[in-house]
Structure 1
Amino acid sequence: MNDSFSGAGFPGAGNSRGFGLGDLGAGLWDAMDQLRSTFEQRPTTRMSRGDVRAAVLALLAEQPMHGYQIIQRIEERSGGSWKPSAGSVYPTLQLLADEGLISAEESEGRKTYSLTEAGRAAAEEAGEKPAPWEGSSARDGSRHTALPKAGVELAQAAAQVARSGSPEQVREAVDILDDARRRLYGLLAQG
């Protein structure tokens, strides 16, 4: 006799993943793995040294900041698609200081950087162009953060329903997911 109705009322509950979900659970987890791998194929978000320089000048034109704040603000403004490393920000700060465009003031063990008069002029000149986090690569990168996160969270919720939901809840979840899929394709069809 096959185990098509063994354990927890799901066909083939004794699957290799050990979740007690049989073919339903295995298929769901495989789909989740495929979804995750699809979204993990993101383009690189490495920016050029000139972009880091322009970003630092743009942020310091708003207010004095320390290096870690600069890194955080760039990440925030780019929607998470660009987070420069300390290894690119701090050398840039040193270079700008050497050029006389910024000055550093130490307070409570941290250096806070601000623009000099020459730095303000350079920031104004650079301000005529879009900020680096508004550039196409940063903007395109942001579409690779919110949607994948929402997709993975949806797959996790579906897996939870499959693990602990009643057969009626599972059927309802399938209907909800089918509707969501149709609506997503409908978005693309709108052009």
Structure 2
Amino acid sequence: MSGSYMGDGFTGSPGSWGQGRSGPNLWEAMEQLRGMFEQKVAPRMGRGDVRAAVLALLAEKPMHGYQIISEISERSGGAWKPSAGSVYPTLQQLADEGLISAEESNGRKTYSLTEAGKAEAEASADRPAPWPTPSGGGPRDFGHGGALPKAGIELAQAAAQVGRSGTPEQVQQAVDVLDEARRRLYSILAQD
């Protein structure tokens, strides 16, 4: 993996970390690792995913926009919380298409499916849930509730802290721990 910090990328002289000398910069490596994990934890869902999620939820019961956002977040274990800027325009588009109707009560619009909307929701009922589930289901696999990416982020943060404020001996100890952790992770994949 050219250009990445895999393999022996965390080795080098402990005194060189983050000080402009030769060898990799631990802080940059941890930032790269954190960025890779955050892409897995907080992905951008596709435009069609919001539409499918709204139709699936409204097939269960009428809801207002905030309920839809909260329900998606809850069902995805927090892995996906669509913004109001994606949900409300989707609701408007579905209303324009005649798939949902809105009823205003106490200053809130509650949306429900029309007959055409029910038909469309039923037609897509056999598809997987449009939101990622904590068990890794849904249109995209987010791992087991994001536990692995979260643990990776926390590891990267701890290693970066040691790199910033640790003594050369502490940095070397951290390198040894990370090397051992990497070997053990690969050994998990090697098991039958």
Q: Normalising by structure 2, report the TM-score.
A: 0.62
Question: Which residue number in structure 1 is paired with residue 19 of structure 2?
Answer: 15
Contiguous gaps of at least 5 residues in structure 1: 1-9, 17-21
Give the secondary structure class of the aligned counterpart of 1:112.
Answer: strand
TM-superposed deviation, 1:155? 1.7
Per-residue CA distance 1:118-175 (angstroms, 9 max, x = gap): 54444333212222225988423x24x6544432321211233345557776565444
In the alignment, which residue of structure 2 is the partner of 1:186? 187
Alignment check: 8 A CA contact 1:60 1:115 kept: yes
Gap change, CA 1:78 and 1:150, over 3 Å in 2: same
Partner residue of 2:113 out of 100, 112, 115: 115
- In structure 2, what is the Cα distance between the partners aligned to 1:57 and 1:126? 9
Task: Pick the aligned partner of 2:129 from 131, 139, 145.
Answer: 131
SS of corresponding position for 1:133: coil
Residue identity in the other structure for 1:178: D
The whole-number CA distance in structure 2 between the counterparts of 1:46 and 1:14 is: 36
State whether residues 132 and 140 of structure 2, in contact with CA within 8 Å, keep that contact through their aligned partners in structure 1.
yes
Structure 1 residues 147 and 23, CA gap change in structure 2 (3 angstroms): farther
Structure 2 Cα separation of the partners of residues 157 and 27 of structure 1: 15
TM-score (norm 1): 0.62
User: For the Cα contact (< 8 Å) 1:39–1:148, is it kept in 2?
Assistant: yes
Matches within 5 A, 1:50-89: 51-78=49-76, 83-89=81-87
Structure with bigger RCO (C-alpha 8 Å, 6+ apart): 2
RMSD (Å), alpha carbons: 4.1
Give me the whole-angstrom Cα distance separating, in 2, the residues matched to 1:146 and 1:53: 27
Deviation, structure 1 residue 40: 6.2
1:68-118 per-residue CA deviation (whole Å, 9 max, x = no partner) reads 332343355456665545454323323433454433232443212123455
Find the aligned partners of 1:98 and 1:11 in 2 and give their Cα distance.
63
Tell me, which stretches of 5 or more residues in structure 2 are unaligned?
A: 1-13
8 Å CA contact 1:103–1:114 kept in 2: the answer is yes
CA contact (8 A) 1:45 1:137 kept: no
- CA–CA distance in 1 between the matches of 2:99 and 2:39? 39
Which residue identity is paired with 2:46? M
**1:78 touches 1:138 (CA, 8 Å); kept in 2?**
no
More displaced 10-residue stretch of structure 1: 51-60 or 95-104: 95-104
Q: 2:31 aligns with which of 33, 40, 45?
A: 33
Q: Structure 1 stretches (4+) deviating beyond 6 angstroms?
A: none
